[in-house]
Amino acid sequence: KQEVTQIPAALSVPEGENLVLNCSFTDSAIYNLQWFRQDPGKGLTSLLLIQSSQREQTSGRLNASLDKSSGRSTLYIAASQPGDSATYLCAVNLWGANNLFFGTGTRLTVIP
């Protein structure tokens, strides 16, 4: 069964810092991997989706990378802002599966 792990569980950084969030997964037969943002008490917003054939995706200050063979993905946030404070979740889609497998999330706090 696919296990998805995110480390650290929580992270606090001062405003302006660049930071990296980590996601690892046990089954490399993934179709794609998504990074989501969740604000407290809210639903999920999709940030980036990387297909298994891709190495990275970029959107604004966000860059997600994927190393399928080692079962790892990273989400890089450049020049962090207080508005980036949220929980970040990664989720993988397996070939032939009908649901996403989620990590437990990293709760990010950006201190002004």
Partner 1 sequence: DGGITQSPKYLFRKEGQNVTLSCEQNLNHDAMYWYRQDPGQGLRLIYYSQIVNDFQKGDIAEGYSVSREKKESFPLTVTSAQKNPTAFYLCASSPRGGSTDTQYFGPGTRLTVL
Q: Under rule CB under 8 A, which residues in 50-89 are in contact with partner 1?
A: 89
Judge whether 63 and 55 are in contact, CB under 8 Å: no
Could you say which of 12, 18, 26, 46 contacts partner 1 (CB under 8 A)? 46
Could you say which of 21, 25, 33, 34 contacts partner 1 (CB under 8 A)? 34
Both tokens assigned to 58? 């970029």
> Is residue 48 a contact residue for partner 1 (CB under 8 A)?
no
> Is residue 32 a contact residue for partner 1 (CB under 8 A)?
yes
> Which single residue is written with the structure tokens 């990664």?
90
> Which single residue is written with the structure tokens 């990293």?
106
**Residue 35 Cβ vs partner 1, minimum distance, rounded to whole Å:** 12
Contact window for partner 1 (CB under 8 A) among 14-22, 57-65, 72-80, 99-107: 99-107
**Residue 4 Cβ vs partner 1, minimum distance, rounded to whole Å:** 7
Question: What is the rounded distance in angstroms from the CA atom of residue 74 to the CA atom of residue 54?
Answer: 13
Measured in Å, how far apart are the chain's first and last C-alpha atoms? 41
Both tokens assigned to 49? 């989706």
> Is residue 49 a contact residue for partner 1 (CB under 8 A)?
yes
> Is residue 97 a contact residue for partner 1 (CB under 8 A)?
yes
Question: What is the rounded distance in angstroms from the CA atom of residue 91 to the CA atom of residue 103?
Answer: 6
